[in-house]
Structure 1
Amino acid sequence: MLAKVILDFGSARMRATTVAIDDPGPLERFLPDSGPSTAFIRKGEGFVGLGEAARFETDTLEAADVWWDEISEQIDHDSEMPGEFGTGPIAVGSFTFDPDRSEERSVLTVPQTVIGRRGDVFWMTKLGSDHNSMDLPSRGAAALAPVNPVAVGGAMGEDVWTRIVGEVVSLIRNDEVSKVVLARDLRIRADEPLDLRWILDRLIRDYPMTWTYLVDGMAGATPELLLRRQGGLVTSRVLAGTVWREAEGADPLQLAAELARSQKDISEHEFAVASVADALAPYCQAMNVPDAPSVLKLPNVMHLATDITGVVGPESGALTLAAALHPSAAVCGTPTHLALDIISELESLDRGRYAGPVGWTDMDGDGEWAIALRGGQVRPHHPQEIQLFAGAGVVADSDPEVELAETGAKLVPMLQALGLDPATATPAPR
């Protein structure tokens, strides 16, 4: 466990100030071209974080939860808008999918400045000793497009990946496991260091219904909310089961109907819903699990979706709940321990923080944690390269070629944001 505290708290307390501001416009425009920054935005709402007041690198959500509790106790917060969801000092994090089998570290960072928007509420929070000015920071320089990006392959070829899917289908049909989510990667390399703000801008523009995130080199646009805790209410959106347009002009109503009737996708979805409901149950005084899923429509794919809600006590904060829910069957499989073992043995891929929780929490334990999907990781020692990830849930009726096509569809948002043609950068969905 490693903690790096950038500001020296010592025995002194830290001061935070939150003020109401006029509409700041697009939040992403405040992201700087250098230095640490974070973002979590959906439909224009959310926040950007500038600078780092403190940083914690760890292996577990539980350790991060303890650390944030300790830091929160040292912050004196003056606010013009007490009680508004998401305002005030926050911790923003990105956690590994499987800390026991990853060389990556999870990270929780406390921004020095937060600029946020939720509905008609706009705010700025500054953390630290310098509060002489509460003026908005200057907007960042224009984001730079990737220079000559090209796909350079992944950890395994498509033929190898489909063969592994076939092996997992055999394990499932032999009743050795019920569901396994397998992922593959694709590396994109450019001639110059990548500007993640460019990717973020295009994801926000093209996929406004998703949670667009930027944390410590991890960027993407995920449709799956692991949980939102707001006061005594917790909500989790479960996605599993996917269909995509095979050609322009495909009838979306027909695709949605096909998805809603697909026994393979319904089975995959039921495993995911059960895993989330079972994990939340010990923390909830009451819980509602819809009997049937709805269909979530995104620009390039559709998913079966179920929104689970529950009532929780003040002792169950957002990080505590995220630790209980991750990894769900939607990104791992079921039973969890068997699926993790199979993924480790067959996938031949360090997922890092892909498919792990990404989001934020405040000093009251409220917050939002999504699952880091439809994204990629840029590492400090390779700033010109981004590793993209996509996965597919494998069940007894899975067809390896169809699962490969599904991962291709899920790579589309990031490939488009990088300026690449998905039809040539990776096989088109079949």
Structure 2
Amino acid sequence: MIEVQEASLQSMLEKAINEAKQNHTARIMSMTKQINKADPIAFIGAGENLSMDRGFWGSTSEGFYIAGVGCAHEITAGSNRMDEAEKSWQKLRDEAIIHNPYKKPGTGLVTMGGMSFDPLSQRTSLWNNFPPLSLTVPEIVLTRSAENCYLTINVKVNGIDKASEITQRLNKLERSLLTHSSALPDDVTIEKKQEVDPESWKQTVRHATEFIKANKADKIVLARKLLVKLSDKSAVSTILYNLIEQQPNSYVFAFERNGDCFLGASPERLIKQEQEEVLSTCLAGTAPRGQTKEEDEQIAQSLLHDEKNRSEHEFVVKMIRQSMVHYCRAVNIPDNPVIYPLKNLQHLYTPVKAVLKEKHSIFDIIDKLHPTPALGGVPTEESLAFIREHEQLDRGWYGAPVGWMDSNLHGEFAVAIRSGLIQEKQASLFAGCGIVRDSDPDEEYKETGIKFMPMLSVLGG
């Protein structure tokens, strides 16, 4: 990482071009500046007609947002994806020319994206635009916290580029993105909802319970898909605005690839990094919200004392503890869960704090934690094998880690639940639930129906 203390955009570009010329290879230049408060949703909306992919991350409870437009560089990886991605990211950081006097989370060189739930599962055409792992460095990044706002420009240059021409193009793009109207396109409406073979899904639940009763697994998470036809092509900016308004205490995300957009509002953090400190979340066990304060509290107390949900939650706590000790020290876990309330649902919640050991990274933690028992099952290999053979959908990026990292050793990844893939006038929504020995197929089907609600509500349902 080549740190530059004082610089203008053009001088930074000239330095990067000279480096590229001397080393006969492309160079990434990253420059961050502090700006007046800007609206990240308007920023994403401004990219709607630029034919450039966009990325978005919002931690609504913290008032923290990252909005990215364009792609200066993409990291992709195959079968050994965590190891490949870590090496590619480290090489990119080491060779980048960076001007970032702030070192705040989400500034400097930032990469955003995600990966598929299971790289070994059979892929379908639904997810053609989403590789098994894809992390992009956006060309322009807006980072907004509760206190400050920053703009980062990232650009890849080679030895024959002209700094003045690139500067002119980037300045024009910056003005276009920051002066866009904050008015949102109209909401779409849902014209048709199509359940995908519900009786077959319930039969798979029965098969899973038999598998568990035969002591071949303790828990298997099964997902299903809901197809939604929309009245018009939906605007990503409008959906994101609605998700932020309707889903407090969630991670709102969107990742666009060639016009297809995977987005959602997940309550479940997988891992957060702040230098050497890491924080994970056990979130398993689900119940609806009540219509009154009294009913809500009654449901919460029932959830806290429900044997099935507490057992499901303990699976996750135990697995995360075992995973974290491999790469961390000072692992701290409370003895009992608390209630984590959302608009439509409430969950059992236990935070896990730890300190990364030397020579380990956020990639190691992601690799060890994913899939958690809340998304795969217990034991992991047996449950994944059952899912590959019997689950009748391609999960793609659903249920997988999505998030961001920066060159200052900050980053955060969530589990991509409460989500959907938007393609023109169609949306594929996904929801899952944990199947255990005494699971009832009809009740599990109802639970997945509740979990579709966050996405249906922002699509006009």
**Scaled by the length of structure 1, what TM-score is found?**
0.89
Give the equivalent residue in structure 1 for 2:40: 27
Q: Distance in 2 between matches of 1:403 and 1:377?
A: 23
Find the counterpart in structure 2 of residue 325 from structure 1: 369
> 1:428 matched to which residue of 2?
none
From 133, 137, 140, the equivalent of 2:178 is 137
1:376 maps onto 2:420 in alignment: yes
Residue of structure 2 equivalent to 1:210: 250
Instruction: Give the match for residue 386 of structure 1.
Output: 427
Matched-pair contact (CA < 8 Å) for 2:290–2:296: no
Which among 184, 203, 215 is matched to residue 224 of structure 2?
A: 184
SS of the counterpart of 1:56? strand
Superposition deviation, residue 387 in structure 1: 0.7
The residue aligned with 1:109 is 136
Q: Is residue 2:444 matched to residue 1:411?
A: no
1:81 matched to 2:95? The reply is: no
**Corresponding residue of 1:164:** 204
The answer as to whether partners of 2:248 and 2:343 remain within 8 angstroms in 1 is no
- Assess, with a 3 A threshold, how the Cα gap between structure 1 residues 408 and 142 changes in structure 2: closer, same or farther: same
Partner of 2:10: none
Which AA in structure 2 matches 1:91? T
Aligned to 2:154: 127
| Equivalent pair of 1:69/1:363 in contact (CA under 8 Å) | no
Partners in 2 of 1:320 and 1:118 — Cα distance? Answer: 27
Query: Which residue of the other structure, out of 63, 67, 89, is the alignment partner of 1:48?
Result: 67
What one-letter code is carried by the residue in structure 2 that aligns with 1:20?
Answer: Q
Aligned counterpart, 1:98: 118
Three-state SS of the structure 1 residue aligned to 2:298 is helix
Q: 1:140 & 1:62 partners in 2: Cα distance?
A: 42
Q: 1:388/1:410 Cα in 2 relative to 1: closer, same or farther (>3 Å)?
A: same
Determine which structure has more spread, i.e. the larger CA radius of gyration. Answer: 2
What residue identity is the alignment partner of 2:73? A
> Whole-Å Cα distance in 1 between the matches of residues 198 and 337 of structure 2?
31
Compare 311-320 and 242-251 and name the one that shifted more.
242-251
CA contact (8 A) 1:146 1:190 kept: no
* Pair 1:356 & 2:396 matched: no
What is the rounded CA distance, in whole Å, between the counterparts of 1:315 and 1:229 in structure 2? 14
- Report matched runs for 1:178-257 at 5 Å: 178-216=218-256, 217-245=261-289, 251-257=295-301
Decide whether the 8 Å contact of 1:389 with 1:411 is kept in 2: yes
Separation in 1, partners of 2:375, 2:415: 9
Q: Per the alignment, in what secondary structure is the counterpart of residue 249 of structure 2? A: coil
Distance in 2 separating the partners of 1:205 and 1:338: 39
Q: Give, in whole Å, the separation in 1 of the partners of 2:441 and 2:289.
A: 18
What is the alpha-carbon distance in structure 2 between the residues aligned to residue 57 and residue 195 of structure 1?
Answer: 27
Contact 1:22 1:122 survives alignment (8 Å): yes
Identify which range, 37-46 or 295-304, moves more after superposition.
37-46
CA contact (8 A) 1:330 1:393 kept: yes
Instruction: Using the TM superposition, give the Cα deviation of residue 343 of structure 1 relative to its aligned residue in structure 2, in angstroms.
Output: 0.9
Q: Specify the SS of the correspondent of 1:251.
A: helix
> Which residue is 2:28 aligned to?
14
Find the aligned partners of 2:91 and 2:308 in 1 and give their Cα distance.
46
Give, in whole Å, the separation in 1 of the partners of 2:105 and 2:217.
41
Residues in 1 aligned to 2:364 and 2:152: alpha-carbon distance in whole angstroms: 24
CA RMSD, 1 decimal: 2.2
Partner of 2:4: none
Which has the larger share of helix? 2
Name the aligned partner's letter for residue 92 of structure 1. Answer: M
Q: Which amino acid aligns with 1:388?
A: L
Q: Distance in 2 between matches of 1:183 and 1:261?
A: 25
Partner of 1:19, secondary structure, is strand
Deviations 1:103-143 (A, max 9, x none): 24231111111111223132111112645657673326744
CA separation in 1, counterparts of 2:189 and 2:444?
29
* Cα distance in 1 for residues equivalent to 2:294 and 2:209: 29
2:76 equivalent among 57, 66, 77: 57
Partners in 2 of 1:12 and 1:165 — Cα distance? 52
- Residue type of the partner of 1:27? P
User: Partner amino acid for 1:90?
Assistant: V
- Inter-partner Cα distance in structure 1 for 2:438 and 2:353: 30
User: Which residue of the partner structure matches residue 263 of structure 1?
Assistant: 307
Q: Flag the 1:53–1:389 CA change in 2: closer, same or farther, 3 A.
A: same
5+ residue gaps in structure 2?
1-15, 156-162
Secondary structure (helix, strand or coil) at the match of 1:214 reads strand
Amino acid across the alignment from 2:185: L
TM superposition score normalised by structure 2: 0.83
Q: Is the 8 A contact 2:304 2:348 kept in 1?
A: yes
Name the counterpart of 1:38. 55
Shift of 1:146: 5.4
3-state SS of 1:229 partner = strand
Which moved further from structure 2: 60-69 or 338-347? Answer: 60-69
In the other structure, the counterpart of 1:427 is: none
| 1:96 and 1:102 in contact (8 A); partners too | no
Give the superposition deviation at 1:247: 5.7
Provide the rounded CA distance (Å) in 2 between the counterparts of 1:21 and 1:100.
44
Residue pair 1:316, 1:365 contacting (<8 A) in 2 also: no
Q: What is the CA deviation profile of residues 312-368 of structure 1, one whole-angstrom value per residue up to 9, with x for unaligned ones?
A: 035322223212211111100011010001111221111000000000111244210
Question: Does structure 2 conserve the Cα–Cα contact (< 8 Å) formed by 1:229 and 1:317?
Answer: no
- The letter of the residue matching 1:45 is F
Cα deviation 1:393-422 (Å, max 9, x = unaligned): 1112322222111111110010010001xx
Aligned-residue offset at 1:148: 4.7
* Partners of 1:102 and 1:199 in 2: CA distance: 30
